[in-house]
């Protein structure tokens, strides 16, 4: 009958944790899959990619809506950096920000609201809009599912920062010597405490 837990959203989780590269793609879309994997490989730091992949045993056909060409046109939102977020037949639909709630929503594009359609920016420092995009998809029907790179920002990675920190410590304090440290005067003696034996009950 399936799990009763709320659906888990890896993209939202990664963006909420301030991941620097987060993307989603579909296994059967080889061109898109290759582009996303190549972008992740070129990223400096950890990258998370959610891949919608069919499993004949556990979720057979679960992503069929996103793979069928006719249905996918209305269900899949392809994110491209620097491009307006539009989709559907003849790009008739777009993503705008709700002026009342601040959330993102899908609307039919008209001359009156065309200027409100969001332009995707994967390189912006704040993950706020990327997170909102990750929440667009209906977890039950998969309608309005964004795919592509949600976030791709440059920042120093941990190993580089650690190496710089070690270099700074050596520059300020000199290179350490383990023998000098072990035979130096900065030692202490720990007092011994005798632990009484437990008595057996009489």
CB 115 within 8 A of CB 104: no
pLDDT in tens, 40-50: 999 999 999 99
CB 93 within 8 A of CB 107: yes
pLDDT in tens, 14-48: 999 999 999 999 999 999 999 999 999 999 999 99
* Residues whose CB is less than 8 angstroms from the CB of residue 111 and which lie 6 or more positions away in sequence, other chains included: none
CA-angle at 174, arms to 168 and 177, nearest 5°:
125
| CB count in 10 Å sphere of residue 96 | 17
pTM: 0.81
SS3 11: helix
Query: Is residue 118 over pLDDT 80?
Result: yes
Helix (H) or strand (E) holding 73: helix 69-75
Q: Is 104 exposed, middle or buried (0-12, 13-18, 19+ CB in 10 A)?
A: buried
Per-residue pLDDT band at 148 (split at 50, 70, 90): very high
């Amino acid at each position: 009958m399936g799990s009763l837990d709320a659906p888990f959203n890896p993209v939202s989780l990664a963006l909420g944790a301030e991941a620097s590269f987060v993307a989603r793609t579909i296994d059967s879309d080889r061109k898109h899959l290759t582009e996303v994997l190549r972008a992740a490989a070129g990223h400096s730091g950890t990258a998370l990619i959610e891949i919608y992949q069919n499993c004949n045993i556990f979720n057979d056909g679960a992503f069929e809506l996103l793979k069928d060409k006719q249905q996918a046109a209305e269900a899949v939102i392809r994110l491209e950096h620097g491009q307006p977020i539009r989709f559907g037949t003849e790009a008739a639909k777009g993503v705008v920000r709700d002026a009342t709630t601040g959330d993102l929503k899908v609307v039919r594009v008209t001359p009156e609201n065309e200027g409100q359609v969001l332009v995707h920016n994967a390189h912006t420092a704040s993950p706020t809009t990327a997170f909102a995009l990750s929440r667009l998809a209906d977890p039950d029907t998969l309608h309005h599912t964004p795919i592509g790179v949600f976030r791709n920002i440059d920042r120093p990675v941990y190993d580089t920062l650690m190496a710089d920190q070690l270099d700074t410590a050596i520059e300020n304090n000199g290179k350490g010597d383990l023998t000098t440290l072990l035979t130096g005067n900065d030692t202490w003696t720990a007092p011994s405490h005798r632990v009484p034996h437990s008595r057996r009950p009489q």
